[in-house]
Every structure is written in C-alpha cells, then in structure tokens.
A and B are shown apart, each in its own frame.
Chain A
C-alpha cells in the first residue's frame, strides 16, 4: 500500500489475497452498479491492469452473456492466477453483498409491514427507477446520435415485445439478436 508512484507505470501482479480484498473493496464501494468502481480500483488505485487491458477485459465481459461484473472478475482472476484466481475474485466480489442481502432478506420478511420502512422503500424504489432510466439513456445515446435507424428499430421492437407484449425474453433475444447481428454484419461489409 505504498503511495509513492513507481517510476515506470508497470502493472503489478497481485497475490490471491490481494485479488480477494481488491474485489471485496470494489463490491463494498460499488453502489448502484459496480463497473465504474472496478476501473478506479483496478487501474487507477492498484495498477494491476493498464487502461487498455481493462478496456479489453471489459469489452469481453460485456460481450458475453451473464452479469458483466462477474465475467470481468473471472477474466481478471484468470489473467493473474488461472482458475483459482477466477474463483477468488468471484468470491471476493460476491461474499459481502450476498451476506448483506441475507440480512436484508431476514429483516424484510420480519419488518416489511412496518409503515415507516414501507414508505422508505417507496422512496428507494423511485430512485432505482431513475437510475435505470439514466442507464438506458446512456446506452441509447450513441444510437440516437448516429441516427442509426435499424439500431433504433431493434431497440424499439425489444422494448415493445418485452415491456408491452410481455413476451418471454428467450423468444425475444433468440429471434431478435440474430437478425440484428446479421443486419450489422451486412452493413459493416
């Protein structure tokens, strides 16, 4: 934990326990989504990865299905310590939040009828919606800027199918995604 910056900004190789506590720190500070914190901790504070390595790993983590941050923890664990590193990173990331959720779940099943807690949850839910809207907007911005009509059309179809028609996600993703990919493949040639 020395604060003096090394002369050469060469990434350091963390030990297993450093990985565990690094991801624990990412999870503990990451309110409302963890990815921005991952970059701060991994690249800026601990210098385990260069910005470019992080961007590469992040691109793959977001490309693959499943929770992005879990994928990212696996990739970074593998990079340094193989399968054991992957397990350690995933456990570091999930351990504290999952324990906290068990406590919250227990409290919830006992006290969710208490009126002041109820009204606190109403406020929280409204804020959670706001965070989601900003997330959707940030994702949509590049599509709107580029006036990419096919992209906007696919986004709209996905929204209508899932939100309004309440179709199963499997049908929507498995039918829409291949068509969307094919269109972009064809346009990119």
Chain B
C-alpha cells in the first residue's frame, strides 16, 4: 500500500523546496500543493487541506504539514525522512552562514535583499491563503470562521489556539 517511489520522489522535492521558501514554509505551500495534489496526485484536495489545518492547529512549527504528507506516503519512516529532507539543507546553510553574518549585517546589499524579499513573501503567503481558502471555505459558516479568526489574530493578542478550539467545536456541532 505504501508507495516507496512516491516517498523518494517527495523527499527529493523537499530538499530543493526549502531554498525557495522565503519567509517560511507558508510561502511554499502552493508549490507543495502543486506537486503533491495537482501533478502527482499523491493526496486529494481534501487530504491536503486537512493536513494543512492539522499542522497549523498542532503545537510546533508550521512545517509539520510536510511531516503529515510524509506519513501518508511512507508511514513513520516517511514522516521522519520528510521532516529531515526539508530541514537539513537550509539548516546546514544557516550553520555555515552564522559566522559571516556579523560582517554582512549592515551591508547595503544585505538590506536591499531583505527589503526586496519581503514583498515577494507577502504575495506568496497571500497565495497560500487563497488556495487553502478555496478548498476550506465552502460554506457561509466556514467563511465566517475564517473572517473571525483573521480579525482575532490581527487585532487582538488572544491566543489563536482559542480560535482553533472554537472552530473545531462548531465543526463537531455540525454547524460548518
């Protein structure tokens, strides 16, 4: 049932994916979706959306969506190797650059790079929101939950966990 060739192909993708996830894994979710759902059909649209929701609602970094996809493709080994494939290359890069940072911190080029990357990140995170919203916000109630959570997270310092708990409770009650 588990597909080894799918897992190894996924692992290879992850090694490269981290390098273009500027501003965090949320910027790379559309690419993950393109590869995993659109092109290779390893996951259904619904599974992908579910995994995104679980990874965001669970404690820990958002990159856990990759762990869940890895599990789906190869069980516990898949989960561990997928997490490692995503994290290791850029962690190594960070390790080797850490020492050079002091010298480059105030360099004009460094400042230009950072200023130039922010707008691209904004567009990519918005693209992720758009893609997930298209799959997740199928009912008026779901749209209302999304809007309420966005307002809560943007305007207040209330912990987003409460929004997740309330949204799940509404779901369990059959209201979404």
Question: Is B truly associated with A?
Answer: yes
User: Which A residues have a C-beta under 8 Å from some C-beta of B?
Assistant: 27-34, 56, 59-71, 74-75, 78-79, 83, 86, 90, 93-94, 96-98, 100-102, 104-106, 108-109, 112, 116, 119-140, 142-143, 148, 150-159, 161-163, 166, 168-170, 172-174, 176-177, 180-185, 188-189
Q: Which residues of B contact A116 (CB under 8 A)?
A: 172, 174
With contacts defined as CB atoms under 8 Å apart, how many contacts are there between chain A and chain B in the complex?
380
User: Once the chains bind, are B120 and A155 in contact (CB under 8 Å)?
Assistant: yes
A34 vs B55: C-alpha distance in the bound complex, in angstroms? 12
Q: Which residues of B contact A172 (CB under 8 A)?
A: 120, 124
Given that A70-B90, A101-B64, A166-B38 are known contacts, is A31 also in contact with B164, CB under 8 Å in the complex?
yes
Extra pairs beyond A32-B153, A66-B86 (8, CB < 8 Å)? A60-B98, A105-B68, A127-B57, A132-B26, A143-B118, A157-B123, A166-B38, A184-B115
When the two chains form the complex, which single residue of B55, B132, B148, B161 contacts A101, counting CB atoms closer than 8 Å? B55
Q: Which residues of B contact A140 (CB under 8 A)?
A: 122, 126
Given that A128-B53, A139-B121 are known contacts, is A90 also in contact with B87, CB under 8 Å in the complex?
yes
When the two chains form the complex, which single residue of A67, A83, A126, A180 contacts B61, counting CB atoms closer than 8 Å? A67
User: Once the chains bind, are B95 and A181 in contact (CB under 8 Å)?
Assistant: no
A106 to chain B, nearest CB (A): 7
User: Once the chains bind, are B54 and A27 in contact (CB under 8 Å)?
Assistant: no
Given that A126-B145, A129-B146, A130-B146 are known contacts, is A67 also in contact with B54, CB under 8 Å in the complex?
no
Main secondary structure of the interface of A (DSSP, over half): helix
Q: Is B6 an interface residue (CB 8 A)?
A: no
Interface residues on B, range: 35 or more
Given that A130-B163, A154-B120 are known contacts, is A125 also in contact with B94, CB under 8 Å in the complex?
no
Which residue of chain A is the closest to B97 with respect to CB atoms?
A: A64
Q: Which residues of B contact A78 (CB under 8 A)?
A: 95, 98
User: Once the chains bind, are B168 and A124 in contact (CB under 8 Å)?
Assistant: yes
Q: Which residues of A contact B116 (CB under 8 A)?
A: 154, 177, 180-185
Q: Mark B122-162, 1 if CB is under 8 A from A, else 0.
A: 11111111111101111101110111111111100001110
A15 vs B100: C-alpha distance in the bound complex, in angstroms? 25
Most buried by A among B27, B31, B60, B164: B60
